[in-house]
Amino acid sequence: MRLLLVKTSSIGDVLDSFPALSDAARLVPGIKIDWLIEEDFALLPRRHPKVDRVLTVRFRHWRKRPLRGLFGGSLRLFLEELRAEPYDLIVDAQSLWKSAVMGRMANGRLHGYDFGSERERLCPLIYRDRHPVPVEKHAVERIRALFAEAIGYPEPKTPPEFGFPKAVPAQEPYLILLHGAGWYSKRWPIPHWQSLARIAAAEGLETRLPGHSAEDRARAAAIAAESPAIPVHTATLNAAWDLIAAAHGVVTSDTGLGHLAGALGVPTVALYGPNSLGRSKTLGANQAHLESGMDCAPCLRRSCPLRDDPRAPGKCMEAFDPETVWNLLKQAMKGYDSTGAA
C-alpha cells in the first residue's frame, strides 16, 4: 500500500501527525508513506525514518506572489510531481480548503473528516471518503483515529509514538526557554522569564533563549538584559531542533517548538493560559503542564480581553509563578541523564 499524507503546516500540527504514521507503519506491513508539506517545514518528515518521500508545496510563497507561481512554472512542476505517483489512498489531516484541494489533485482516493468533524465545515464536499472523529479528542488522537478509519484497522489504544530517535542531552547541562508564541495572549511576561533564568542559574543551570524572527530575537534580548539567560539565533528549524534535542529541560508557552520538545522526550513544562490543554497539550515522555484556573480561561483569544494593550501577555499567563514552574521542571528532569533516559 502507498499512502499520501497531506499535512502542510505548522510545526505543532505537523508533529501531531507522527503517531498516526507510526501506527500505520507498525500495523500495515509494507506500507509506503509519502508526505505533502509546506516547504518551510519539510525538515520534520525528512527526519522520520518511516517517511518514504517528501513532496513540498510553496503555498505561502504563491499566496504572496500569485502571478509568479502561476506563470513562473513552479506551480506546474508541483502539480506534475503531485500526480506522478499513484496512491492507494490520500489522507488530508490538515482539514483546510487548501489541503483538501491539493489532496484531490493528487492521484488517488481522498479521505478526510466528515461534516461533524471538520474545522472548515464544507471541506468534506471535496473528499471521496468521510470519517467521523470526535472533535473533543486531542489533535494527536484525532489523526490516529482518522488513519485507522481510512486504512481500515482498529483505532490504537497504545500511547502515541512519535518515532524520532531518542534525544541525548549535552554533557554541559542547559535549559531552553521557549518564550515566543503566535498569540500575544499566550506569552509569559518577560519579568517571569527573567526570574526563572535567575532561579536556574542559582541551581547551576545555564538558560538559552532561541530566536528565529526579529521579534523573537528582540524579546530574547530583553529577557537577557536583566537575567543570565543567553540569546541564541536559531536561523533554521534544523538549528532549533538540534538545540532542543541536546537540552536537559524546556519551559515553553504553547508553541510548535514546545511540541517538538515533547516529541523528542525532553523534560518540558508547558504553560496553557488562553487555550485548553485537553486538545493541544504537549505529548511525550517527561512532560508537565500548567493550566490557568481563571474563570475566563480558556478564552481562545489572540489578545487578552482584560488588557488595554492588545499586545500584552494574557493575565492568565501572568498568574503562573516562576518558582512553581521551576519546581515542576525539576520534577520532570528527575532521572533524565546523559543517555536521555528517564
Whose CA is closest to 15, among 28, 30, 5? 5
Q: Do domains 2-151 and 174-333 have the same CATH topology?
A: yes
Question: Which CATH superfamily, name and number, covers 2-151?
Answer: Glycogen Phosphorylase B; (3.40.50.2000)
Q: Mean per-residue pLDDT for 20-29?
A: 97
For residue 112, CA distances in Å to 115, 129, 143, 193, 280 come to 10, 7, 10, 41, 20
For 189-224, letters b (16+ CB in 10 Å) and e give: bbebbbbbbbbbeeeebebbbbbbeeebbebbebbb
- Which pLDDT does position 70 carry in this prediction? 47
Q: Would you place residue 161 in the very low, low, confident or very high pLDDT band (cuts 50, 70, 90)?
A: very high
Tens of pLDDT, residues 30-89 = 999 999 999 999 999 999 999 999 999 987 665 555 545 444 567 888 899 999 999 999
- Which pLDDT does position 61 carry in this prediction? 60
Q: How far is CA 131 from the centre of its chain?
A: 24
Biggest alpha carbon–alpha carbon distance for the chain:
59
Q: Mean per-residue pLDDT for 289-294?
A: 94
Q: How far apart are CA 120 and CA 96, in angstroms?
A: 6
**Under 8 Å between Cβ of 297 and 315:** no
Q: How far apart are CA 1 and CA 35, in angstroms?
A: 14
Tens of pLDDT, residues 88-97 = 999 999 999 9
Question: Which CATH superfamily, name and number, covers 174-333?
Answer: Glycogen Phosphorylase B; (3.40.50.2000)
- What cell was used for 130? 468521510
Residue 113's beta-bridge partner residues?
A: 131
Q: Is the pLDDT of residue 261 over 90?
A: yes
Q: Provide φ and ψ at 6, rounded to 5°.
A: -105, 105
Domain boundaries, the chain: 2-151, 174-333
- Which pLDDT does position 339 carry in this prediction? 53
The pTM of the full predicted model, rounded to 2 decimals, is 0.92
Q: Is the pLDDT of residue 342 over 60?
A: no
Whose CA is closest to 289, among 331, 256, 318? 331
